[in-house]
Structure 1
Amino acid sequence: MTNHNMSDLIEEYIKQLLEEEGLVEIRRTDMADQFQCVPSQINYVINTRFTVGQGYHVKSKRGGGGYIRIQKVELNHHGDLLSELEDWIDQKLSVKDSMAILQQLYKYDIITKREANLCLSLLSSDALKLLDKTTEEKTRACMMKRLFERLRYEEKE
């Protein structure tokens, strides 16, 4: 082997599996045994080298039958618009502004009318009524940014 560190080797192995299968489901302890390292090393590699920003969707389930599932995703062709809208959102977002954003997403065929209406329901003041006004607007902004992050990527089929 060449002069690679353990993290590089683990990353290369997972990427090779992804190339062959498209979807990888691993057990952290099994990988740690295979590479003769601690399980936290596997976590480190996954958390730093298989992020949404790098084009991966990671799902994990803890416990005895737990697993880590990694899937390659592709950048959505509306990524620039979504980035602009996300930059426009400050730390707080009003219901009125969230409505306007969802209308833009619908207008550009990024989401369907049904999806826009579902998002409106979730972002409404009624849905967040247990929160004070400032916390409500901060929560709405966070939820909208999370929506943008997810919309930027389409799962590869």
Structure 2
Amino acid sequence: MASITDKIELFINELMNNSNSIQIKRNELANLFNCAPSQINYVLMTRFTIDRGYYIDSKKGGGGYVQITKISSDKKKYIKSLIYERIGEEITYNAAKEVIKSLEKINILTERESKIILYSIEDKVLCIPISELKDKLRANILQNIVIGLLHIDESA
């Protein structure tokens, strides 16, 4: 049985099938699913993120809304936002895995390429005893791969 978060995500995805951008009212959606508005926030913050190809904008107050927009297919802009906003100076393996899976989802990486990258940034491969240094090294490797993807895309 699907969880409430899965149901909310599915509902929002179905709304977005016909549009690149939608506006929803958090309270109305919470009433529809008989849950707290914080549950809607959780879904938005974990399932509709930049690294998954979405941008969230919200207006608070009585007439407030949440606008969910699919990031344009401009891969260069998307990859640059991944480098600076999502990867940053350091990244955990799980966060890096999310970035890689999102690149696969939008057909920048193949499944095979994703697996190779994931194997190359695992903790056991990064033989450094200090975990913060592993996360920094992982970020450097991942940024270099993403920059390489951008360069390959430009020369194709």
Bigger relative CO (Cα 8 Å, ≥ 6 apart): 1
Larger Rg: 1
